[in-house]
Amino acid sequence: MAKKKAATKKTTSKKAAKKKVAVKKAVKNPSGSSSALTADQQKKVRKLLKSKDAGNVKLAIGLLESTDATKEDWNDVFSTTVLSQLVNTWDPAMWNVVAAAFQVHNSLLTAFGDVAGERFGKLSGNKQVSFLEVLLPSLQPQMSPTISICLSKHKGWLDLDGRRVCRTRRQGTSSPKIDPC
């Protein structure tokens, strides 16, 4: 009798545990939409992203697009940590690939731009200019929002085509104006 009671108790606790997991999933995803990717697939995509290679990142994005990954899948895969790692590559090819993929995911594009702008603002003036010199020639149109955030963090002057340009404020406004120094 005691064995039967113990077996029933184990079964009940397993059912309760499964129910808790189901409730957690429902709370995490209240819209009821299901993830198109399994946890294992998400892990593999993250591994490609963490390689910090533009080709692997492009492959990971292609996999997400080909599996019709949901918005939740994209947000899970491109966590703040992953976005930081991608920004910290300071690789224009990487940034262009990521920005192109995020064109249909506005929240991710905004988050990527915010992280990029924050990190760019922490660079010294010389490092900012050096990065811009590498980035601007390879700039793709989809990078415009991210670059505008970065440029808004730039303090000082930029040397455009050998002409020194200073950032000043327009009279009566808070918006910057580019003037020759």
Q: Is residue 32 part of a domain?
A: no
Q: Is residue 60 part of a domain?
A: yes
Q: Is residue 68 part of a domain?
A: yes
Element at 104 (helix H, strand E): none
Q: Is residue 95 part of a domain?
A: yes
Q: What is the pLDDT of residue 30?
A: 41
Q: Is residue 22 part of a domain?
A: no
> Does residue 32 have a pLDDT over 70?
no
Q: pLDDT tens across 88-120, in order?
A: 999 989 999 999 999 999 899 999 999 998 998
Q: Is residue 21 part of a domain?
A: no
Q: pLDDT tens across 127-168, in order?
A: 888 888 888 888 888 888 888 887 777 666 666 555 444 444
> Does residue 12 have a pLDDT over 90?
no
Q: Is residue 181 part of a domain?
A: no
Cβ burial of 142 (10 Å; 0-12, 13-18, 19+) is: middle
Q: pLDDT tens across 57-89, in order?
A: 999 999 899 888 889 999 999 999 999 999 999
Mean pLDDT confidence for 32-57: 83
> Which of 133, 129, 110, 107 minimizes the C-alpha distance to 120?
129
Mean pLDDT confidence for 18-23: 40
**Domain range holding 118?**
37-156
> Which of 133, 134, 130, 97 minimizes the C-alpha distance to 112?
97
Count how many domains the chain has. 1
Q: Is residue 24 part of a domain?
A: no
Q: Contact at 8 Å (CB) between 82 and 46?
A: yes
Q: Contact at 8 Å (CB) between 94 and 54?
A: yes
Ramachandran assignment for 163, one of left (phi > 0), alpha (psi -120 to 50 degrees), beta (any other): beta
pTM above 0.75, yes or no: no
Handedness of CA 131, 132, 133, 137 (dihedral sign): positive
